[in-house]
Chains A and B, each alone.
Chain A
């Protein structure tokens, strides 16, 4: 089976663009990714498009209606916050299968402001505030408090995640925000769902990201190996049964299952990873995933953030892009934006926030409900 490489990848600066349509936003990233490797839409053999908000709206085709209707197959994907990673993985799968040797994956989302979550069923009476809360800040607060219950993780440790990621974003011109948020600012921000304050919740933004994936032969033929990034592992899982998962969505088991499979596929372990972009939809979530991804032992995540091991310059930098907390979280774009971030470091092009000598990186997303997508990427040998 051929190896598959990211040969072109880019993202737009995340922000709020109410004047643009979803296909327009997606088209921008698609063209940027094509430009990144000097290709045209006519070179692309299939398009895999991730979008959640208009999942019945044929967004992929509408992107081609903007940038070139070449008649290629288009697959539209929706998989909650794992939507972008799912589109990328479908693209990767088609190259691995030998069906195509040059394909495009696009993730795009236009978000409103405000709380995400379920307000309850369409019939009867609203359940929010009657049977607990289904808002995303609450669901992830409850997942974080489970960690507090087991290991004594504190509000302050959760808040430090947000301080770190906001600091990282000051070095990322494509992040929504570039603002330092000291610990007191994070902890004293409006409490949304204890222990998540407003600054510990991801930012709802509009955004898009895209990647061109090529077979090894095609990448060599096109002379694109010098900046190519090899996909060492691509894994997607759903949530295995857990006794509480009907009322408490479980983001841990599916991540652990995906991480084990990804390390096995890559023939690598957590110690081989130089940087990670993981799903910090809330500060409480990031803590869980240090352990789920095996970069520390169970119960050590609080210490990891206390000791700065996950900050830029630390043992294993996490979310140097600023993460979902500060770069922003356009649901369908996130899974490809984190592939852009890791690829940029592996190419040595990340500027001020560059992780020194980065050779191997890992991306992780969680779609609640649940889906987990993990990719392990490596700088290609030219």
Chain B
């Protein structure tokens, strides 16, 4: 299979990749797929086929081994997304705390539905399952950060801040 890849991690990420691969026994470095996919998504914002091919080349495995893993786990974006991906928890406990209303407000504020990206490419809304923050719901996550006990006012503040 012809893989034409011109992408590369910055030097310090490449060093980290080498370190990660040493966490596992000799020959078992395939285990590094998930940590490296996280690094790749942080670098390129989504896991395009080119990104996944690059990850495969780093691990000396077949590209399909990366595709089948990336497509199993919900955190990896296999389609282009906006600069900020808002992932809101739709599961029971967050709904008990008024999640549905807050998320409806979020969609109204951004003028998009779940799964869509704003025309300026700044925001994508995704719905996810329980984020293990049920006592502090409703909750959404943007990259690594958790936003908790959300209200319409808080949603406005967060969107205003990120729109700057």
Whether A associates with B in a native complex is no
Using CB atoms and an 8 Å cutoff, list the residues of chain A in contact with chain B: none
